[in-house]
Amino acid sequence: MATNIVVIGMGYVGIPMAALLADVDDFYVTGIQRRSHRSAWKIDWLNNGKNPYEGEEPGLDELIERVVKAGKFKVTDNYDDVSAADFILIDVQTPVDDEKVPRYASLKEVSKKIAKHIKKGATVIVESTVAPGTTDNIVQSILEEESGLQRGSDFYLVFSFERVMPGKLIEYITDFPRVIGGGCEEANEKGKFLYGKVVKKELQGTDTLTAELTKCIENAYRDVNIAFANEMALLCEDFNRNVFEIITLINHRHDRMMHYPGSGVGGHCLTKDPWLLLYGFNKYTERINESKMKIIPDSRKLNDYMPYHMIELMENVFRDSHQLVDNIKITLLGVSYKANTDDTRNTPTENIVKILKARYHSHNIVYVAHDPYVKKRDYSLTDLTSDFNEAVDKADVLLFTTNHSVYYDIDLDDLKKRVNTPIIIDGRNIFDKKTVEDKGFTYRKVGEGAKKPV
């Protein structure tokens, strides 16, 4: 018997999940994507069996082509297929605004549209990350009020969060354990049936709120650990030592795994999920321990500071050489937030450019960005090129903000000839300090002192 599935939101989560499910015998999947000026092209692209992402995504090209050719996967902008759906997955973005409050406009809109079409016995699964308490207090309320149906008797509602990462979209769905948080045992069994068809690891059943907390705390934990690494990087710069050497020495112990510092934390998750956690805490608890909530906001503040620090390193070079940050060309190497992907969401490069333009708005600076994966439709802050030589020619400073693999193979001798001023600011530990300086570059790196060690 065929199982009909609708996946709402064709992004980094929805596309690989929809394609994997469509590859299951007797599963038929409809993807729903809003037709906006920025995303309408995705609908035709996917319906032609093409992967819309430019980065390295092992297996995704072949998977999408296969399920589309087999007639198992299609994409549309209307909700008609929800009426026949046995499972409805919500994979829309849930960002936070400048005040760190969740923007749930898409989540609420989608919930209302689902409610107008949902059939009895259907299972709705929220995969989008939300503040703890959101599934029960917002999604459930909308579904019940708009449909007249009751959760647990007429339909089932589950929160089961994604753990995907650009560059490993399929692997992180199939090869990671899956947490399934339903409102009742029947809901969890529905979730286990669906995910059991594509997930190779353990399916862990729990309640909805626990699942929401697990997702937010998991990402807050990583963000805090990165903040610690960034703080130690700043400390090691002042000690005039290399934090990356120290991390290697620490991690040589089998039960330690210190994170790496860098030019900033980007992506859709780590920059917002800690705020979602605190928002849910403030809204849905009595906040008995409110005064103790310090580590998460302090970590976010420190990680958001790192793009500023990249600029500080650049300014220190100009100051030491008695140069003005004026009438120069700044080249930014890497626009995506993660190596070898095209994901520009909350990329540190964006913050670096905005800070520079605000600080030096009248200083006749030419900005050029290079990225081998990102297309101009996804980045508009500066000129963008995929031609490395075009980007670096006549540059006065090179800011390496993403560790794309192509940057590790740069011919430094040729690069030295092309630039106007040989200055490298390394935000991703791409280069060896001695090697670069021996080639005649002035070099600064996040996490390493500028002077020669005594």
Tally of helices (H runs) and strands (E runs) in the chain: 16, 14
Which residue among 72, 215, 433, 445 is the active-site one? 215
Determine which helix (DSSP H) or strand (DSSP E) holds 30, and give its type and residue range: strand 27-32
Is 120 one of the catalytic residues?
Answer: no
Helices (H), 81-136: 105-117, 134
Q: State yes or no: is 269 an active-site residue.
A: yes
Would you state the torsion angle of the CA atoms of residues 250, 254, 257, 258, taken in this order, to the nearest 10 degrees? Answer: -10
Residues paired with 203 in a beta bridge: 178
What CATH number has the domain spanning 3-201? 3.40.50.720
Chain-centre distance for alpha carbon 136: 25
CATH superfamily of 307-445: NAD(P)-binding Rossmann-like Domain (3.40.50.720)
pTM: 0.94
Q: Tell me the domain boundaries of the chain.
A: 3-201, 216-297, 307-445
Q: Which of 130, 132, 186, 196 has its CA nearest to residue 156? A: 186
Per-residue pLDDT of the chain (454 residues; tens, 9 = 90+): 899 999 999 999 999 999 999 999 999 999 999 987 777 789 999 999 999 998 899 999 999 999 999 999 999 999 999 999 999 999 999 999 999 999 999 999 999 999 999 999 999 999 999 999 999 999 999 999 999 999 999 999 999 999 999 999 999 999 999 999 999 999 999 999 999 999 999 999 999 999 999 999 999 999 999 999 999 999 999 999 999 999 999 999 999 999 999 999 999 899 999 999 999 999 999 888 888 889 999 999 999 999 999 999 999 999 999 988 999 999 999 999 999 999 999 999 999 999 999 999 888 999 999 999 999 988 999 999 999 999 999 999 999 999 999 999 999 999 999 999 999 999 999 999 999 999 999 999 999 999 877 6
Tokens of 35: 């037709």
**Identity of residue 316:** N
Which superfamily does CATH assign the domain made up of 216-297 to? N-(1-d-carboxylethyl)-l-norvaline Dehydrogenase; domain 2 (1.10.1040.10)
The backbone region for 311, taken as left when phi is positive above 0, alpha when psi lies in -120 to 50, beta otherwise, is alpha
Q: With H, G, I as helix, E, B as strand and everything else as coil, classify residue 283.
A: helix
Q: Do domains 3-201 and 216-297 have the same CATH topology?
A: no
Task: For Cα atoms 17, 23, 27, give the angle at the middle one, nearest 5 degrees.
Answer: 90
Check: CB of residue 35 under 8 Å from CB of residue 43.
yes
> How does pLDDT run across 237-260, given as a tens digit for each residue?
999 999 999 999 999 999 999 999
Catalytic member of 190, 236, 269, 272: 269
Q: Are 381 and 354 in contact (CB under 8 A)?
A: yes
Q: How far is CA 49 from the centre of its chain?
A: 24
